Chains A and B, each alone.
Chain A
Amino acid sequence: MKIYSCCGKDSIAKKYYCPSCGESEFKEREVNGEGSVYSFTKIHIAPSEFAHIAPYNVVLVDLDEANAKITTRIEEDVEIGDKVTLDRIEDGAYIYKKTA
């Protein structure tokens, strides 16, 4: 997973300009995608494109190797603090799983 950094701030998405210094050059580095559950919700009422998998868990993951968070989907139920890792990328979504 790629992380973009400038002015001491990490992000999983590249912006046009750094909001702190205005520069457009970001440092890029690879991280392993492991992290812990920062928070979560189980979505029962879903938009039509996700209705077939409802209820499902959307989980905000705090990455271990970056000062950044990433919004993911996890099939298992989770609690805040659970260790999780990237399982796969599916239809443009990060699908995570609990670390065994």
Chain B
Amino acid sequence: MTNTYVHGIGMTKFGKLESSLKELLLEACAEALNDAGRPKVDAVFVGNFMGGSISNQEILGAIVANDLGLGYIPSTKVEGACASGGIAFRQGIIGILSGEYDTVLVAGVEKMKHATTSDVTQAINAAMDTTTTEKNAGLTFPGFFGVLANRYFYEAGASKEHLARVALKNRENGVNNPLAQFPKPTTLEEIMEARMITDPLGLFDCSPMTDGAAAVVISRKKSPVHVRASSQVSGPTKMQDAENLLSIPAIGKSGRLAYEKAGVGPEDIDVIEIHDCFSMTEIIATEELGFFNRLEGWKAVEQGRTKVSGDKPVNTSGGLLSRGHPIGATGIAQIYQLVRQLRGNAANQVANNPRLALAQNLGGTGSYSTVHILERV
């Protein structure tokens, strides 16, 4: 129990956008503040990964505080690769739990589409340990999940079609989400035949480069959405260090910690946003978080259990694969979607008034993971 409540949410359209990094950030923050009724804010946390390297822009916390007229309050930028947003959210919660702050504005933002693919790839490589023999061998970020996927096929009996079904589901969800990057429907055939990025992962198996921002206002004052648990752990930073390649221990451990803090189990969760940076990652994460047995996540996909109409709806927003993945904003965009689900007005609203929602945000190839459990109260 964190005794922290969500009061306001905001999110820009995701995609290739004209707005600058700063404009995106301020737009999402202003929307969240308006949604919360313009409360007095005691601190700001901003999740961002490559503002410095790609946009030559840091001090994002102070920019928010200054341009939104929040006064001389503490503000901080948080970096944790693709988990920057989830970690920023957690830092805001800890600030409230500590007693230091009553109300905190947390945002996440990334601007990527203006840069060349090679510059962005170079910047993303900073989220691996760049001093290792495996980096020297040419391992890439997607490459890690390609190696994992081939071993998963070998041990679990799954195939590329099951990965494609994850991508298809998330595209179907994204098509119904007006803020998502990809509004265009696709087919299983198009996904299966798309050009290869890193065997067996094709174009649709990989999350895109995206511009976008999201923000959330949290407070110790009560609201209808309670943050029931917050957890964060670190994991292996190298593929060759993994004790079991088919496990991403940071996800599993952060999940178990969150369930313990919340006093609930995976069977109690009604709606889920997880970090599908690659189609393979979604399947592994559903296993790590206890929704399905190990090496059986692909069967749940085949049975449609993770669809909006299934018993464990995963990534009703479209996920990273179709909502888009503006790196620092992703963890906050997950919270945005889940708050909409608990308020009952989400894109792809799940049936039967969901009460418990879970967000899992991953950084690096398993270097960071955060889990947050939200509850409608």
Contacts and interface: CB of A to CB of B under 8 A. Distances in A.
Interface of A: 11-13, 38-48, 50-51, 53, 56, 58, 60, 68-73, 80, 91-95
Contact of A43 (B143, B154, B238, B245): B143
5 contacts: A41-B201, A44-B197, A53-B138, A93-B138, A94-B137
A66 to B, nearest CB: 12
Contacts of B245: 38-39, 60, 69
B56 interface: no
Highest count of chain A CB atoms <10 Å: which of B122, B133, B142, B146: B133
Given A11-B241, A38-B151, A39-B147, A44 B140 contact: no
Contacts of A94: 133, 137
Interface string B121-133: 1100100000011
Contact of B151 (A80, A92, A95): A80
A48 B240 contact: no
A41 B138 contact: no
Interface in B150-200: 150-151, 154, 195-200
Q: A interface, by DSSP: helix, strand, loop or mixed? A: strand
Contact of B118 (A42, A48, A93): A48
Given A12-B240, A43-B138, A60-B245, A71 B146 contact: no
Contacts of A72: 137
Contact of A71 (B137, B151, B196, B201): B137
Given A42-B199, A45-B198, A48-B118, 7 more contacts: A39-B148, A41-B201, A48-B122, A60-B151, A69-B240, A80-B151, A92-B133
A73 B136 CA distance: 9
Which 10 pairs between the two chains have the least Cβ-Cβ distance?
A41-B146, A71-B134, A39-B151, A92-B136, A93-B136, A42-B199, A93-B137, A73-B137, A50-B138, A71-B240
Given A39-B148, A60-B245, A80-B154, A70 B240 contact: yes
A17 to B, nearest CB: 14
A38 B246 CA distance: 11
A58 B133 contact: no
B351 interface: no
B118 A58 contact: no
B139 interface: yes
Contacts of A71: 132-134, 137, 139, 238-240
Contacts, number: 106
B239 A80 contact: no
A70 B241 CA distance: 8
Nearest to B149: A41
A45 B122 contact: no
A28 B149 CA distance: 33
B240 A60 contact: yes
A15 to B, nearest CB: 9
Contact of B147 (A58, A68, A73): A58
B120 to A, nearest CB: 10
Contacts of B122: 47-48
Nearest to B195: A44
A51 B121 CA distance: 12
Nearest to B124: A47
B109 to A, nearest CB: 24
Contacts of B136: 91-93
A43 B125 CA distance: 15
A95 B133 CA distance: 10
Given A41-B198, A70-B240, A80-B154, A46 B133 contact: no
Given A38-B245, A39-B147, A39-B150, A47 B199 contact: no
B137 A47 contact: no
Interface in B232-248: 238-242, 245
Interface string B304-326: 00000000000000000000000
A34 B242 CA distance: 19
Interface string B263-301: 000000000000000000000000000000000000000
A14 B200 CA distance: 32
Given A60-B147, A73-B138, A42 B198 contact: yes
Contacts of B199: 40-44
A73 B133 CA distance: 10
Nearest to B117: A45
Nearest to B131: A92
